[in-house]
Structure 1
Amino acid sequence: MNAETDVLGEPYLAETIDFPDDDEGPVVATLVSRLAGRPTTRAVLHVHGFADYFFQTGYAEWWNERGYDFYALDLRKYGRSIRPHQTPNYVGDLREYFPDLDAAWTRITERDGHTHVVASAHSTGGLVLPLWADERAAGLGELAGMVLNSPWLDLQGSTLLRTVGTTVIKQLGRRAPRREIPRKVDGLYARSLHRDHDGEWEFDLSWKPLKSWPVFAGWLAAIRHGHARLQRGLDVACPVLVLSSDRSTLPAAMNDDVHSHDIVLDVEHIRRWSTAIGRHVTYVAVPGARHDVVLSLPRPRATAYDQIGRWLTAYVD
């Protein structure tokens, strides 16, 4: 394995995976790994969300303690995989991420010999991962389960925005895919997480900026196409656990709600569309959780881990 010590330090390793050039030039993804304390054929593959990358070390350690090798994939143009010539986080079709996932999967199963793999994803990754698993079903015999942490399964906002607005977005995405979509980002979510502001976590603000990354018409159109595909119904055969907060809100300033609600997505959408993912879906609302449930305050964080553990024992391990 051509891997070096990761930016997180030992025992984390990072492997750069090269892909054919796209319209901006060279493309890479990055596979981060942290092995369990003893040899195992069990592994986890985790995928981050938008304006994000893997830094959730507590999540990796929790899986290691259960006897799983942990892998996390920084997709092309995210985090460790951003290159100076690229538009951060941009693709025009969610299927552009599928080669990244294919390459990671091949390394975990064929090269590293894991025969029992749990796929995991957060937010936008929670949309991409089921779409990939549905399309690649015949080649994923090692897929034992899937954990989705606040997956982005529908566009937040009014019915008018999700219908008429989506039509406009798709038209604009075809005509001017790199046109930036105006939006107001207050930075409250990232501030609630980062230890230099109102949180307890350390992450690179050049990879996960306080005020996110720009959103472009082509990327948002790709997201809406992905939403439509999922909402028509997927056929993910393995057991799926979907976690979210129990409440959403849109706060105007930093307050207790920022730390105890999903202030990014609408949890009612997550609950509604989770059943469209596959044959065996368990949905759990975690009281007081943040958008990233494993970065919640200590009590809801412990609840989230307890729910994952119970689900694993009941359906996967």
Structure 2
Amino acid sequence: MSLVPLQADLLGPDYRVETFSLPPDEEGPVVATLVTLAPEQPNGRAVLHVHGFADYFFHTEYARWWADRGYTFYAIDLRKYGRSLREHQTANYVADLNEYFGEIDLAWWRITQRDGHREVVVSGHSTGGLTVSLWAHERRPAELLALVLNSPWFDMQGAAWLRSPATRVALDRIGGSRPLQEIPRRISGVYGRTLHRDHGGEWDYDLAWKPLESRPVYVGWLRAVRRGHAQLHAGLDVRCPTLVLSSARSAFGDDLGEDAFTHDIVLDVAQIRRWASSVGRHVTSVAIDGAMHDVVLSRPEARARAYAALDTWLRAWVETPSDEQGDERGQADEGDHRA
């Protein structure tokens, strides 16, 4: 198997990057970007990672963990995010999560057809976890080996009225007529400060692409997310093994204290666990003590627990010998097995 030589990415010469064009939308030209890290000793498998809202790929430790295991690691910056954001675009906006299927499909072609990977793990964080679950349910590609969902956004956090039928109707009505109407909200920036190394965190990334105060949320975008939630809640049929990682606890507030570094302060982890089994027939949910919203950006002790859980799950359900793996997948297809 040979990989096409590509340009070096901003993450360094080990990371290759390519940008591909997508059909234009009402704002003009659209692109997506695929970043690749090749392993020194490839095992023939690959990972495709999809980021969350107000985010992009900079997770070099996560990529290296997979590459050290022999997987070719791919990460996509979706349209209007990170490397793919253009000046004429409304950052991070789509009116339907299915719009992302276009670039995921093109990345999938590159991974499976051009680069020859026959077994691929799909990884998604937060909104990306919701998106890849919907994509896997819709597409069901033969090469899909497993899903790894890192704090997937499975329901609307906050007061119960935000999840009421009346709110859903209002979103549908306003989202149809005024999709780019901004939803007022107060963002403290605490979560960003727990991450970025210049503000109390450990990680270095571009604050123009992942701002401390997140991004504006528009009615049309939130309508798209809530429609994705409704589809998930009705039950998806993803048949490959799925791992859902989350923090053990949530905490909400504006205090940059210890809880901010050891809890999910973005989503309600009880909702993540509640809806995890709605992804498919074979779901394992693991809560990581001390983890943050992006589990693989947590403090070292919590990250170690997360990687240990991922390693255990991969060995149990994904990296079995091919003949045993086929038997297990067949059993998963025959019944509704949810862990």
User: 1:43 is aligned with what amino acid?
Assistant: A
The answer to whether 1:75 aligns with 2:66 is no
Which stretch has the larger CA shift, 31-40 or 93-102? 31-40
The C-alpha deviation readout for 1:177-208, integer Å capped at 9, x for no partner, is 00000001010001100000010100000000
Which stretch has the larger CA shift, 164-173 or 86-95? 164-173
The answer to whether 1:29 aligns with 2:32 is yes
Q: Which residue of 2 aligns with 1:144?
A: 145
Q: Which residue of 1 aligns with 2:129?
A: 126
Q: Which of 210, 215, 218 is equivalent to 1:216? A: 218
Quick one: percent identity of the two aligned structures? 58
CA distance in 2, matches of 1:8, 1:166: 41
Report the CA distance between 1:254 and its aligned residue.
Answer: 0.6
Report the CA distance between 1:98 and its aligned residue.
Answer: 0.3
In the TM superposition, 1:168-207 aligns within 5 A as 168-207=170-209
In the TM superposition, 1:198-277 aligns within 5 A as 198-277=200-279
TM-score (structure 2 length as normaliser) = 0.92
The C-alpha deviation readout for 1:206-226, integer Å capped at 9, x for no partner, is 000000110000000000000
Q: Which of 94, 97, 100 is equivalent to 1:97? A: 100
Report the CA distance between 1:251 and its aligned residue.
Answer: 2.0
Q: Which of 86, 110, 134 is equivalent to 1:107? A: 110
In the TM superposition, 1:151-166 aligns within 5 A as 151-163=152-164, 164-166=166-168
Work out the number of aligned pairs and report it: 315
| Structure 1 unaligned spans of 5+ | none
The answer to whether 1:10 aligns with 2:13 is yes
Q: Which residue of 2 aligns with 1:312?
A: 314
Q: Tell me, what secondary structure is at the counterpart of 2:13?
A: coil
Report the CA distance between 1:8 and its aligned residue.
Answer: 0.6
Q: Which residue of 1 aligns with 2:330?
A: none
CA contact (8 A) 1:40 1:114 kept: no
Q: Which residue of 2 aligns with 1:295?
A: 297
CA distance in 2, matches of 1:96, 1:202: 30
CA distance in 1, matches of 2:199, 2:285: 32
CA distance in 1, matches of 2:257, 2:82: 28
CA contact (8 A) 1:143 1:238 kept: yes
User: 2:179 is aligned with what amino acid?
Assistant: P
CA distance in 1, matches of 2:32, 2:96: 16
CA contact (8 A) 2:50 2:124 kept: yes
Report the CA distance between 1:77 and its aligned residue.
Answer: 0.3
The C-alpha deviation readout for 1:150-177, integer Å capped at 9, x for no partner, is 0000000122111132322221101100
Which stretch has the larger CA shift, 73-82 or 153-162? 153-162
CA contact (8 A) 1:3 1:16 kept: no
Query: Any runs of at least 4 consecutive aligned residues in structure 1 with deviations exceeding 4 A, and if so which?
Result: none
Report the CA distance between 1:2 and its aligned residue.
Answer: 6.5
User: 1:30 is aligned with what amino acid?
Assistant: T
Q: Tell me, what secondary structure is at the counterpart of 2:14?
A: coil
Q: Which of 285, 288, 291 is equivalent to 1:286? A: 288
TM-score (structure 1 length as normaliser) = 0.98
The C-alpha deviation readout for 1:134-165, integer Å capped at 9, x for no partner, is 1101xx11111110000000000122111132
User: 1:151 is aligned with what amino acid?
Assistant: P
CA distance in 1, matches of 2:54, 2:112: 28
CA distance in 1, matches of 2:22, 2:190: 35
CA distance in 2, matches of 1:85, 1:2: 30
Q: Tell me, what secondary structure is at the counterpart of 1:87?
A: coil
CA distance in 1, matches of 2:155, 2:23: 31
Q: Tell me, what secondary structure is at the counterpart of 1:16?
A: strand
The C-alpha deviation readout for 1:266-306, integer Å capped at 9, x for no partner, is 00100000000000000000011000000001111000000
CA contact (8 A) 1:52 1:78 kept: yes
CA distance in 2, matches of 1:56, 1:113: 24
